[in-house]
Amino acid sequence: MRKFFIVMVATLCLGIGLTSTARAQGVNWRTQEKLLKTQQKQERKALNIQQKNRKQSWKGRNSRRPSKAERAHAEHQMQRERRNLSQRQKDAMQDMKDRQRSDKDMHRAYGR
């Protein structure tokens, strides 16, 4: 019985400490979401500019013109890059939402 009481007191103290730490952090999820969205928008814009420049280089006078197969390969590579970027951004947004949900659940559990 004595061990149980000691464990309960330690758990209670630890819980109170975690709750106060979480409150002190005070994450503003709205600003986090806005920052993530602006960062993702910049990444998309940078990728589009990079791919546009790659296509423009194929049209240059002094450059060696790629064959049809090389262009097709490059087009598929660019398409993969766009798909991967989109998937990474979706995963990042979902990760942020999951962290927000778990933070909210933690606050509910400890009776904020």
Task: Write down the domain spans for the chain.
Answer: 28-109
pLDDT value, residue 11: 60
- Output 93-97 pairs: Cβ under 8 A, ≥24 positions apart: 93/36, 93/40, 96/29, 96/32, 96/33, 96/36
Q: What is residue 29's three-state secondary structure?
A: helix
The pTM assigned to this predicted structure is 0.67
For 8, 24, 28, 37, the CA distances from 14, given in Å and listed in that order, are 10, 15, 24, 36
Structure tokens at 108: 């509910």
CA triple 46-52-57, angle to 5 deg:
125
Q: CB-side exposure of 72: number of CA atoms within 13 Å?
A: 3
pLDDT tens, N- to C-terminus, the chain (112 residues)? 555 456 455 565 666 655 544 454 678 989 999 999 999 999 999 999 999 999 998 887 777 788 899 999 999 999 999 999 999 999 999 999 999 999 888 888 887 5
Structure tokens at 65: 């013109």
CB 27 within 8 A of CB 101: no
pLDDT value, residue 86: 96
CA distance 60 to 53: 11
